Structure 1
Amino acid sequence: MTEIAPQPRIKLSKLRDIGWSLWDPIGLLDPESPAGRWDDEANLSFADEYDSYLIAAASQLRRGAPRDEVVAFLVEIETEHMGMGDNQSARPRAEAVVDDVSGT
């Protein structure tokens, strides 16, 4: 019997890099400001804001969920759960996150 090796875990810091640079649906990081990264000291109080969503998305992908299903999950989180409403950029940003997480 052939054993399938488990996929390596994605580091939380890598998920945060992806989520904060490509997604940030609430717009907490101002890319124009000097403290424009999640791991900058000024931002550490909210660095974990998206962790549960990004971990869930990565877990779904690791279990073989279809790309579009995970994209829809992130769009629903943003538009419904976070109450951000319909936004033309929600899907493209979710797709970018899923593609980047899939590539890690």
Structure 2
Amino acid sequence: MTDHSTIEMNVLRQIGWDHWDPVGIRQTDDPAWRTAAADEYDSYLLHTAGMVLQSASQEAVAAYLDDITVINMGLGPVNGAIHGASVRTADAIAAYLRTRSNDARSSDTRDIR
């Protein structure tokens, strides 16, 4: 399985912008807002990746993101849109980590003759 040292933050950030972004920062043209949001989002996305790496269920990962959106950011209550974004984010992060894991296994393959 992939460890944290091989996770590319730019990939996690893009997943966050594309699927989650509860505050809607991606819609702003102000780079300062995107930088400030990236700092905050990074910790949530890394925690999410860690949950996936520790084999947490998709529902547990999505529930964590729901809690961040509702409790930490005060954007609740959870509704279909919020939960759908959390599920899509959990799925995208899991898919990314599977790809990284598959890449690592492929590079470990040796030709034995």
Stretches of structure 2 lacking an aligned partner (at least 5 in a row): 97-113
Post-superposition offset of 1:82 = 0.9
Q: Percent identity?
A: 34
Q: Which has the higher contact order (CA 8 A, sep 6+)?
A: 2
Task: Identify the residue that residue 80 of structure 2 maps to in structure 1.
Answer: 88
In angstroms, what is the RMSD of aligned CA positions? 1.9
1:71 aligns with 2:62: yes
Residue 101 (structure 1) aligns with: 93
C-alpha displacement of 1:80: 1.2
Question: 1 or 2, which has the higher helix percentage?
Answer: 2
Structure number with bigger Rg: 2
Aligned to 1:3: none
TM-score when normalising by structure 2: 0.72
Return the letter of the residue paired with 1:100.
A
| Structure 1 stretch displaced more, 63-72 or 6-15 | 6-15
Question: Runs of 5+ in structure 1 lacking a partner?
Answer: 1-5
Counting matched residue pairs gives 92
Q: 3-state DSSP class of the match of 1:85? A: coil
